[in-house]
Structure 1
Amino acid sequence: MMDDSEWFVEPAPQAGCSIGLKIRRRLDAAESSFQKIEILETEDFGKLMVIDGCIMLTERDHFIYHEMLVHPALWTHPDPAHVVIVGGGDGGTLTETVRHPRVQEVIQVEIDRAVTELSLRHFPEFAPATSDPRVQLVFEDAIRWIERAPEASIDVLLIDSTDPIGPAEGLFEKQFYEICRRRLRPDGILALQSESPFLYPHLVRGIHEKL
C-alpha cells in the first residue's frame, strides 16, 4: 500500500514489522483477470514490481532471489537438460536459467501474461532470455500444465510463484507437490520460492510439512 508520504509499505503483522520503500513516482499498472500489477520507481532500489500489494522484485536486489533459486539446483544436477519454470513471469528466473550451457530446453509456465508484458516493458535486462531458442513461454495455469506433462520428463523444476494467496494458492498444496515429484526424473531436483523464515515462519513450516 502507499501512504500519504509516498512510501510503499508491505506489512508483515505476524513478524511485527513492515517493509517500506520510498517512491518517486508510479510508472505503470495493470489489473488482469488474476491480480493487480504495479510498477513503481523508488528512490534507492530502482524500479519495483508489486503484485496485489506484495513486493515481487526491485532492480537493485532481485539477483539475490533469482540466483539462489536457480543456480544451486542447476549446478547440483548432473545434466539439467530439461528445465520447467512454474510462474516467474517477470523473467528473472528465466534469465539466470539460460546462463547454463547444459540446459537444452526451458519451458516457463506463467498464468498471467500481463506480468510478462509489464516486465518486458520496464525490466529490459530480462528481455533477451525470452528470445533464447531454447525457451518456450506458455501462458496457462501451471497446475493444469503439470498434470498433463509426461511422467519422469523434467530434470529441474523451479517454482517461482507469488505468495500462497490468489492464483498461486494451489502451488503450495501437497497434491501439487506429489504431481511434481512424479514429473521429475529419478535424479530430478525441485526448488521453490518458500517465503521468508523470519517474516513468515508459519508459511515455511506449512510448506515443509506438505513437501
Structure 2
Amino acid sequence: MATPTAFPNDELTLTLASQQQQNQAPAAGNSDVPASSPLKRLRSDVDNSSTTTTNGSATPSELSLAVAPASMDTIKPGSGRANISTIVPGWFSEVSEMWPGEAHSLQVEKILFEGKSDFQDVLVFQSATYGKVLVLDGVIQLTERDECAYQEMISHLPLCSIPNPKRVLVIGGGDGGVLREVARHKSVEQIDICEIDKMVIDVAKQFFPDVAVGYDDPRVKLFVGDGAAFLRDVPEGFYDAVIVDSSDPVGPAQQLFEKPFFESLARALRPGGVVCTQAESIWLHMHIIQDIFAACKQTFKGSVNYAWTSVPTYPSGVIGFMLCSTEGPEVNFLEPVNPIEIVEDSNSEEDKKSRPLKYYNSQMHKAAFCLPQFARKALDAYLPQNP
C-alpha cells in the first residue's frame, strides 16, 4: 500500500502508536463471535501485511489515527487503534464478510472523531457528499443526508399501524434518531430507550445534534445497558410498541436476532402490541431474513410482515424491517390506521421544534411491503397476507 499521507485534512496524520496504546488495543480480528461464524466481521485484507509510513515500516496493529480538530471540546479521540482496513488516502471503504466481494466508499474531507468504547470502534468523519457519517466497527450507521429514510420508516411503520400508542421502548438507537421520530406521535406518553454503548450517545449528541435532539424530549428515559437483559425485566404486557434499532447480527447485537430475544419482545408487549426490528437486506441476506422470519412466526401469534426501504449508504442500498404483532386486536401493517401529521407550516412552538418529515408518508408506508418476486417467493410460506 502506498504511504498513507494524502488525506485532504491538514490536521490528520498517521503516527506510530505508543506502547501504552498498543497494550490497550485488541488483537486484530478479536471478537466475541467465533472465528468459524459466517457473520464474523472482516477486519482487513491487510491485517497480515505491512504498511509503510514516512517513519519507516510498521504493521497495521502498530498504527493509530492521531486527530485533534479544534472543535473537539468535550470528546477526545480514544486510544484504540484505527481500523486501517477501512481508511485509504482520502477515502473510507466499508468491507465485511457479511457482503463479500464488494465495498462501498465515501470520500473523506475530515476525520472528526475516532475512538474505542468498551464494545466497538467509533468513527465520525465529514464526507464530501453525505455530510457527517457515523461508523461503528467499520460499518456505516448513519449519514446526515440519508438517515431520514431509516429513522422515519423504522419508527412510523409500527406506530402508524396501531391506534394511540402510549408506551414505547427503543432498544439500541443510541444516535437518538428513532427517539426523534417516536416523539412526533402525540399520543405517546412514555419513551424508554436502552442503549448499550454510552460513547455512541455522547458522540451523537456532539456531532449529530439534529438526530440526537430526541433525547431532549421530556417523555424520554434513558437506560444504558444490555437491551436483552433490560427486556427480561420488563413487566409482561407493558409496552404498546418496541422498536429494535440494532446494528448487524455480530458482536453485542448478535443476540438481538435470536429466538429467545423475540420471545422476550412478545412477552413485553400488550395484546395487539407491535414490534419493528432491523432485518437486513433482501439482496445480501435472504437466508438471514428467512431465519428471522421463521423465528418470529413461531413466536408472535398476530401478524408477521417484512418491509424494506432505500438507504443509499447501506450495503446494497436497501435495508429491511420485521414487523410483528402479538395476539389480540388485529394489526394490518399494510394499512396505516394512525396517520402522522406532516407539519410543513405551523406557528406552534412545538411544531417548530421538529423538522418536517423527509421520507415517510402513507404511500411509502404501503409500498414498503411490496416485495420483488424473488424475495416474495423466498418468504412465501410466511407471507400469506401479502398482495
- What is the TM-score of this pair, normalised by structure 1? 0.95
Which residue matches 2:93?
Answer: 9
Moved more, 75-84 or 124-133: 124-133
Once the two structures are superposed, residues 164-183 of structure 1 have per-residue CA deviations (whole angstroms, 9 ceiling, x without a partner) of: 11111111110110111011
> 2:156 aligned with 1:71, yes or no?
yes
- Name stretches of at least 5 consecutive residues in structure 1 with no aligned partner: none
**Alignment-derived partner of residue 13 in structure 2:** none
Structure with larger RCO (C-alpha < 8 A, sep 6+): 1
1:9 and 1:196 map into 2 onto residues whose CA distance is: 19
Aligned counterparts of 2:88 and 2:177: Cα–Cα separation in 1: 31
Map of 1:150 onto structure 2: 235
Match of 1:52 among 137, 144, 161: 137
Q: Distance in 2 between matches of 1:2 and 1:179?
A: 36
Q: Which stretch of structure 1 is more off in the superposition, 14-23 or 160-169?
A: 14-23
Partner secondary structure for residue 185 of structure 1: strand
Separation of aligned partners in 2, 1:45 and 1:104: 34
Identity %: 37
Cα contact 2:175–2:212 (8 A) shared by 1:
no
- C-alpha deviations, 1:29-48, integer Å up to 9, x for none? 22111111110110000000
* Matched-pair contact (CA < 8 Å) for 1:23–1:41: yes
CA distance in 1, matches of 2:286, 2:187: 35
Once residues 291 and 165 of structure 2 are traced to their aligned partners in structure 1, the CA distance between those partners, rounded to angstroms, is 28
Confirm or deny that 1:19 pairs with 2:99.
no
Give secondary structure in 2 for the equivalent of 1:118: helix
Match of 2:383 in 1: none
Q: Which amino acid aligns with 2:154?
A: L
Give the C-alpha shift of residue 3 in structure 1: 4.0
Residue identity matched to 1:10: E
> Which of 169, 185, 188 in structure 2 is aligned with 1:100?
185
Hey, what's the Cα distance between the residues in 1 that align with 2:96 and 2:212?
32
Q: What displacement does 1:196 show?
A: 1.4
**Distance (whole Å) between structure 2 residues aligned to residue 4 and residue 177 of structure 1:** 40
- 8 Å Cα contact 2:86/2:138 also seen in 1: no
- Judged with a 3 Å threshold, the aligned counterparts in structure 2 of structure 1 residues 11 and 200 are, in CA distance, closer, same or farther, namely farther
Distance 2:161 2:287 in 1: 28
String of CA shifts for 1:45-87, please: whole Å, max 9, x gaps: 0000000011100000000001110011111111210000000
The equivalent position to 2:285 in structure 1, one of 179, 200, 208, is 200
Map 1:57-206 to 2 at 5 A. 57-206=142-291
- Provide Cα deviations, 1:83-111, integer angstroms capped at 9, x if missing partner: 00000000111111101101110000001
Residue of 107, 116, 124 corresponding to 1:31: 116
Tell me, in whole angstroms, the C-alpha distance in 2 between the residues paired with 1:46 and 1:170: 32
8 A Cα contact 1:15 1:198, kept in partner? no
The one-letter amino acid of 2:91's match is W
- Name the TM-score, length of structure 2 as normaliser: 0.53
Q: Could you say what secondary structure the match of 2:88 adopts?
A: coil
Alpha-carbon deviation of 1:22?
1.0
Contact 1:85–1:157 (Cα < 8 Å) also in 2:
yes
More helix by share: 1
Aligned partners of 1:116, 1:95: CA distance in 2, in Å? 14
Partner secondary structure for residue 38 of structure 1: strand
Q: Which moved more, 1:128-137 or 1:37-46?
A: 128-137
User: Kindly tell me: are residues 18 and 157 of structure 1, through their superposed partners in 2, closer, same or farther at Cα, counting changes over 3 Å?
Assistant: same
Residue segments in structure 2 that go unaligned for 5+ positions in a row: 1-84, 297-387
Aligned-pair RMSD on alpha carbons? 1.4
Looking at secondary structure, tell me which structure has more strand per residue: 1
